[in-house]
Amino acid sequence: MILFLEQGLNGLQFGLMLFLLAAGLTLVFGIMDMINLAHGSLYMIGAYLAALILGSTGSFLLAVAGSLAGTAVLGMLLEISVLRRLYSRDHLSQVLATFALLLIANESMRILFGSQALTLNPPAVLSGPVELAPGFFYPAYRLLIIGVGLAVALLLYLLVSRTRIGMLVRAGASNREMALAMGVNVRALFTAVFGFGAALCALAGAMLGPLLAVEVGMGEGILILAFVVIVIGGIGSIRGALAGAVIVGVVDTLGRTLLPMSLRTVLPPTVAGNLGPSLASILIYVLMAAVLFWRPQGLFPARG
Amino acid sequence: MGVQLDHPLHAAVALPLLAALIVFPFVVLAIDEPFYVVLASRILIFALVATSLNLLVGFGGMVSFGHAAFLGAGAYVVAILMQHGVASAWIAWPAAVAVAALAALAIGAVCLRTRGVYFIMITLAFAQMVYFVFVSLKAYGGDDGLSLASRSVVAPGIDLNSDTLFYYVVLAFASTGFFLFARLVNSRFGRVLQGIRENETRMEALGYAVHRYKLGAFVLAGATAGLGGALLVNQNELASPGTLSWTQSGMLLTMVILGGVGYLWGGVMGAAALLLMEELLAAYTIHWQLGLGLVLLAVVLFAPNGLATLARAAGPGGRDG
Amino acid sequence: MHRHMIRLALTLTFPLALTLALALPGAARVHAAERIRIGFLSTLSGPSAALGLDIRDGFALAMQQNGGKLGGLPAELVLGDDQQNADTGKQLVERLLKKERVDLVTGIVFTNVMLAVAPAVFEAQTFLISANSTPLQYSGEGCNPFFFSTSWQNDAVHEAAGRFASDKGYDRLVLIAPNYPAGKDAMNGFKRFFKGAVIDEIYTRLGQLDYAAELAQVRAAKPKAVYIFLPGGMGVNFIKQYHAAGLNRSTVLVGPGFSADEDVIKAVGEPMIGMFNTAQWAHDLDNAQNRRFVADFRRQYGRTPTMYASQGYDAALLIDGAVREVKGRIEDKAALRRALEAANFESVRGEFRFNVNHVPIQHYYLRQVVKGADGTLTNRLVSTVLAAHGDAYATACRMR
Amino acid sequence: MAELLRLRGLIKRFGGLVATDGVDLTVQEGEVHALIGPNGAGKTTLVHLISGALRGNAGSVFFAGEELTHAPVHERVRRGLVRSYQVTSIFTRLSALDNALLAVQAAAGSSMRFWTPVRTERAFTRDARALLMRVGLLDRAEVVAGTLAHGEQRKLEVALALAARPRLLLLDEPLAGLGPEESLHMVELIGGLAGEVTIVLVEHDMDAVFKLAHRISVLVSGRIVATGAPDEIRSDARVRQAYLGDELGSAA
């Protein structure tokens, strides 16, 4: 039972971090109809910025704040300089141009910070476990991540459902032409949305840096997962991104434990040992293909 | 901006190029640089694979982000058969093509129900599935990949382990494949594909069974990539998950756009340009991918039709083609 | 139209012309007889780059102490970064062998790269001095005259760990390794010498960095000890997360030497204290060569060497001794092979001799991470676990 | 005259909205049957249902005695049930001739042929030029379709539909957006076709409808409220009511 509880929390923690990436990605995708493979690079850059600031100031809070601000500015510069030219282009051009940005970002980080992974440590107070229930320890830092993730999800919900900017964003995601027609300042709106998405990436990068490692290429695996999330959730939908992220997080985490365990009860151990991990690793892709096949618009489509 | 449906293969271009490729090993061996035979084989293999992807992306309008799956499937079939003692190219290579074609048939049947962005995403998802399946197959090397004991056996006296001989085998496949491709795009089938790229709904209303033609192209391209995989695994003597990774799919797309989407020579030019650029830049810096990224970005932003068009644009009376 | 086609033809022959342009400067290159070129193919970037860099630094230190020479010949290192990727490794080794024409290949860290590149090196009749990966494929039936290892057979440190865990009475144990062949081999090595019950074997993705799911599984299994085979960054993250999850309060963590080496200690910090690990070498091993190596390494690079560094250092010394013995005539492969087999050099691990499969027969030690007198964390040699230990595969080797 | 197309109880819902609500319609071989109705009556939905672009929730489609309710678009086209589009759907980046060539090729049997270049199939070029001539676009054959004038594009649209050698041609607002003179040309073109092929004409231009149609069906709120000869329709009270008098009155 504790195993399920702990794995559920792990899945939630993973899912919420995925959500931070998926939220920005889905907005850019939904509003600007833009596939951005370089989204994961912003996550990487955010993590490197956090590592840099943490290394020079020693303050975790400062690192997170600085990385957020820095990456947001960078993201907006990127939007103004390059991405803006791609909105009207076909998806193939977008894929390749942002693939190019991804290569450029990777090599730039390698030149600036070297090839070796940087390992950060969480603030000392959070480095140990918390006893949630008698005998049930859970890492304090992961709890913090869950808290931050939930807070951002709530904030986003309020922002999108209660503010004028949010209304514009929603309108844009469900009907781009309408948003263009409202066109007070669509260009500025796009830039702002992009900067905001970049900041969310940086938050994920800064939060996960101490838990994982800060390294070149760290954004790619999580980028693919974020794509899976938004396709499952429905492109352009924040609600879909949250649901999709938690589904992917929980399915992936539970699948890794439960699939090999349950296979062992029905199959010989060698077969189960081979099959289990492979099934677990493709589980979310099967899920995504199934969603695309039966509900191509995703679980929570933004467009009517 | 108009588009031509005819893509003539000029003998005045193709034959001298073929002749140059035939004498190429003599030249580099004469100056004692056998490494370039290996490099040229690699370029030819990728030219074939990129051309097959160009058939999908450039001629059929299907932006597949999972073409590496078929490349890798072909490679793994040869390696797995070799592990089970089947070294004959006569069995292993057709098997690689057949498995890749069947995989393309199954994956295509599902993916082609979707369009646009969703097609890009679902092909990516399937490629990731194939990738993770092979990564977790410990019996076939898992993350390590699967080494070949030697190159495939063709016939007594023909030893593919000779890089030069292998080059000629690759050249034979690549040039034949390219010739067939050139026939294909100008045939009725090729016209239909291009029509689908231009206006799929209209093609359906004209009475074309659009899905069938798209699936046909998907299977052909997958099978060709499978052949490329069979050649590549012989070249590398290794089938590795890297061949299946999504960045490999990205690199194949990069070749196509560098060379020219929807141009006869696009795949060939793109493969040559990318691999030579890698060779050239890698000699100067380990950060060669920075250069690649900048070039790719520049091409997408400023020369969206790729290298193949530069030649035409330069020509007097240059036309769209 | 005609001119237009000529232009197209020119464009198409451009790649060919470029290739020739690339090739020509190489053609002018003169093959110097009086020097030795070492192809150093290693993992120099990515999460496990520290491993390759340590081997490189160890190797380079030995060369430097020798005045830039190996066996009296001016030596040149041709570096290649395989990025822990077998494909990349294979392409690089083609270049090293056929373009750079190196005389020896060394530096390979990971078994996936080793398995991909070794056949090409053997085929080119070039000696491959492994400073780390020593897979069973080249230890038993598939042993090869061109393969030499200055490290340990892939299973051996795990065998030592298995013996140690048995001796300690850790009778309920969970094993964790990446889901790839070397992971399976390592676990088999451990189990070969472990007499207690393995209650669970968990296989993770290679390169995985988040172990939350696996840690929950360990917690649920309630073992006495956990043995990990997680090289490079994987181990660093596992150990950090293991402590963050509070598992250290109930369960003992045991690892191979490289999971508790100086680089890992530096990255993880305090939670490492007390961790037992097994290795064929320790920086406080008491012999003259080792004292010189450790002191010079610290002076040169400002850090304590790891076992990888020691293996790289020994690889250079092995080459140095053998080339000296053949008086620089490295083209005489038979003589060079005999000289390598003789292993006439002072190893940092003390006595050094090759088994029939060109893998060392050596002692394996227990080490423990402690806080030194100056407050820094470091490994301390505790005892010898396996003395003059060969490996499980050598008997199957019929060296040609 | 034999019955060519019969719709029985066709229902199509979009969510809660009922677009066609049990449409029954019979089209006789050889007639020009116009389909009129106010905006939002469900005309376009009905065209999609007949052509196969949409599948109904209930009801059936019979064509030349065969049930085609579940047949995909291309099979209906093969049997001679062909449509044109309200919003011009041509290959805008291709020349007019290439447009016609693709249409001609579609009617020439399977295109699963991989070897012979289409360029060398002389019959295709001949038929394609004949097709362009028929709609009066032969002198514009080499022009990129997207750069043709709007009226010419509409003609090309009709040409594409004609290439399939239709038994029944479903024309979805062929006059939409045309100027008076272009309209006149188009009405002439359709009138010329009327002898050779059965036509279902969906059109807002009542002048054209009453000029061309043999029979007219009126669609209101997803139902056929009346079918009859032009004169009967003009005098039908329900139709007048549905159209609020204006349009029909002025046409009459």
> What ipTM score was computed for the predicted complex, to two decimals?
0.87
Q: Could you tell me if B63 lies within 8 Å of chain A, comparing CB atoms?
A: yes
Contact state of B57 with A228 under an 8 Å Cβ cutoff: no
Which pLDDT does position C26 carry in this prediction? 45
Torsion angle defined by CA atoms of residues C144, C145, C151 and C152, in that order, rounded to the nearest 10 degrees = 50
Give the distance from CA A221 to its chain's centroid: 10
Residue type for position C163: R
* Length reported for chain B: 321
Structural domain span for residue B172: 13-249
> Would you say B208 and D73 are in contact if contact means Cβ atoms under 8 Å apart?
no
Domain annotation covers residue B202:
yes
Question: Which of C91-94's residues contact partners 24+ apart within 8 Å by CB, and which partners?
Answer: C91/B236, C92/C41, C92/C117, C93/C39, C93/C41, C93/C117, C93/C120, C93/C121, C94/B35, C94/B38, C94/C120
Q: Where in chain C is the domain with CATH 3.40.50.2300?
A: 36-152+284-354, 156-279
Read off the pLDDT of residues A237-274 as tens digits, 9 standing for 90 and up.
Answer: 888 999 999 999 999 888 887 887 788 788 776 677 66
Query: C6 Cβ partners below 8 Å, 6+ apart?
Result: B12
Q: Which residue has the tokens 């995708």?
A: A29
Q: What is the value of pTM for the model shown?
A: 0.89
Query: DSSP letter at B55?
Result: I
By C-alpha distance, the chain D residue nearest B187 is D117
Which pLDDT does position B289 carry in this prediction? 84
Look up residue C90 and give its two tokens.
């294979």
Q: C113 to each of B241, C83, C182, C395, how far by Cα in Å?
A: 12, 9, 12, 25
Which pLDDT does position B91 carry in this prediction? 95
Which pLDDT does position D1 carry in this prediction? 61
Contact state of B296 with A97 under an 8 Å Cβ cutoff: yes
Q: Whole-angstrom Cα distance, residue A12 to residue D44?
A: 47
Which pLDDT does position B208 carry in this prediction? 94
CATH architecture of C156-279: 3-Layer(aba) Sandwich (3.40)
The minimal CB distance from B57 to the residues A92, A103, A220 is found for A92
How many structural domains comprise chain B? 1
Q: Could you tell me if B106 lies within 8 Å of chain D, comparing CB atoms?
A: no
For helices A186-208 and A60-81, the axis angle rounded to 10 degrees is 140
| B145 dihedral zone (left: phi>0; alpha: psi -120 to 50; beta) | left
By C-alpha distance, the chain B residue nearest C18 is B276
Which pLDDT does position B318 carry in this prediction? 33
Antiparallel, parallel or unpaired: β D3-14 and D17-28: antiparallel
pLDDT at A185 > cutoff 80: no
Read off the pLDDT of residues A115-152 as tens digits, 9 standing for 90 and up.
Answer: 778 888 888 888 888 888 887 889 999 999 999 999 99
Which chain A residues are within 8 Å of B138, Cβ to Cβ? 274
> Would you say C189 and C162 are in contact if contact means Cβ atoms under 8 Å apart?
yes
Which chain A residues are within 8 Å of B122, Cβ to Cβ? 231, 288-289, 292-293
Antiparallel, parallel or unpaired: β C69-70 and C197-204: unpaired
> Would you say C304 and C290 are in contact if contact means Cβ atoms under 8 Å apart?
no
Query: A290 Cβ partners below 8 Å, 6+ apart?
Result: none
pLDDT at A302 > cutoff 80: no
Which pLDDT does position D88 carry in this prediction? 84
Domain annotation covers residue B168:
yes
Q: Could you tell me if B143 lies within 8 Å of chain A, comparing CB atoms?
A: no
The minimal CB distance from B5 to the residues D72, D94, D121 is found for D94
Nearest Cα of chain B lies from the Cα of D245 at a distance, in angstroms, of: 36
The arithmetic mean of pLDDT across residues D191-201, rounded, is 91
Q: Could you tell me if A82 lies within 8 Å of chain B, comparing CB atoms?
A: yes
Give the distance from CA D165 to its chain's centroid: 13
Instruction: Decide which of A25 and A31 is more confident.
Output: A25
Residues 127-146 of D with CB under 8 A from B: 144
Which pLDDT does position C182 carry in this prediction? 83
Query: DSSP letter at A117?
Result: P
Residue range D3-251 forms a domain whose CATH class is: alpha beta
Contact state of A100 with B294 under an 8 Å Cβ cutoff: yes
Residue range C36-152+284-354 forms a domain whose CATH class is: alpha beta
Q: How much helix, strand and coil, in percent to the nearest 5, is found in chain A?
A: 80, 5, 20
Residue type for position D86: Q
Contact state of D94 with B2 under an 8 Å Cβ cutoff: yes
Look up residue B153 and give its two tokens.
């056996």
pLDDT at D20 > cutoff 70: yes
Domain annotation covers residue B74:
yes
Residues of chain C with pLDDT under 50: 1-10, 12, 24-33
Q: Whole-angstrom Cα distance, residue C132 to residue C368?
A: 22
Which pLDDT does position B139 carry in this prediction? 82
Residue type for position A19: F
Q: Whole-angstrom Cα distance, residue B71 to residue B228?
A: 6
Query: D168 Cβ partners below 8 Å, 6+ apart?
Result: D4, D5, D27, D63, D80, D81, D82, D197, D198, D199, D200
Q: Whole-angstrom Cα distance, residue C101 to residue C331?
A: 12
Helix (H), strand (E) at residue B258:
helix B246-259
Beta bridge partners of D199: D32, D169
Read off the pLDDT of residues B246-304 as tens digits, 9 standing for 90 and up.
Answer: 989 999 999 998 898 999 999 999 999 999 988 888 777 778 888 889 989 998 888 87
Q: In this complex, how many residue pairs, one in chain B and one in chain D, have their CB atoms less than 8 Å apart?
A: 107
Lowest mean pLDDT among A63-77, A272-286, D144-158: A272-286
- Residue A193 backbone dihedrals phi, psi, to 5 degrees: -60, -40
Mutate to test the interface with B, among C1, C6, C13, C19 (most CBs of B within 10 A): C19
Which pLDDT does position A59 carry in this prediction? 92
Look up residue A284 and give its two tokens.
């979310």
Which pLDDT does position A288 carry in this prediction? 87
For helices C212-221 and C233-244, the axis angle rounded to 10 degrees is 60
Which pLDDT does position B156 carry in this prediction? 83
Contact state of C87 with B238 under an 8 Å Cβ cutoff: yes
> Would you say D201 and D212 are in contact if contact means Cβ atoms under 8 Å apart?
yes
Query: DSSP letter at B152?
Result: P
Q: Whole-angstrom Cα distance, residue C263 to residue A112?
A: 21
Residue C398, burial from CB neighbour count under 10 angstroms (0-12, 13-18, 19+): exposed
Which pLDDT does position A182 carry in this prediction? 59
Side-chain half-sphere CA neighbours of B108 within 13 A: 24
pLDDT at A173 > cutoff 80: no
Q: C204 to each of A279, B239, C228, D194, how far by Cα in Å?
A: 13, 21, 11, 72
Nearest Cα of chain A lies from the Cα of C206 at a distance, in angstroms, of: 12
Q: Whole-angstrom Cα distance, residue B306 to residue B54?
A: 12
User: For residue A226, which of A240, A214, A216 has the smallest C-alpha distance?
Assistant: A240
Which chain D residues are within 8 Å of B180, Cβ to Cβ? 114
Q: Which residue has the tokens 């600031």?
A: A53
Contact state of A127 with C243 under an 8 Å Cβ cutoff: yes
The three-class DSSP label of residue B233 is helix
Q: Whole-angstrom Cα distance, residue C89 to residue C87?
A: 5
pLDDT at A41 > cutoff 80: yes
Q: What is the largest CA-CA distance in chain A?
A: 65
The arithmetic mean of pLDDT across residues A216-237, rounded, is 88
Helix (H), strand (E) at residue D96:
helix D96-106
Read off the pLDDT of residues D51-70 as tens digits, 9 standing for 90 and up.
Answer: 998 888 999 999 998 999 99
Residues of chain B with pLDDT under 70: 1, 308-321
Other residues' Cβ atoms within 10 Å of the Cβ of residue A195? 22
Mutate to test the interface with D, among B191, B197, B204 (most CBs of D within 10 A): B191
- Residue A117 backbone dihedrals phi, psi, to 5 degrees: -70, 140
> Would you say A291 and A232 are in contact if contact means Cβ atoms under 8 Å apart?
yes
Query: C149 Cβ partners below 8 Å, 6+ apart?
Result: C129, C130, C134, C358, C359, C360
Torsion angle defined by CA atoms of residues B26, B27, B28 and B31, in that order, rounded to the nearest 10 degrees = 110
How far is the first Cα of chain B from the last one, in angstroms, to the nearest whole number?
Answer: 11
Domain annotation covers residue B96:
yes
Which chain B residues are within 8 Å of D75, Cβ to Cβ? 209
Antiparallel, parallel or unpaired: β C252-256 and C276-279: parallel
Which chain B residues are within 8 Å of D121, Cβ to Cβ? 188
Antiparallel, parallel or unpaired: β C104-106 and C36-42: parallel
Q: Whole-angstrom Cα distance, residue A290 to residue A294?
A: 6
Q: Chains D vs C: touching, with 3+ CB pairs under 8 Å?
A: no
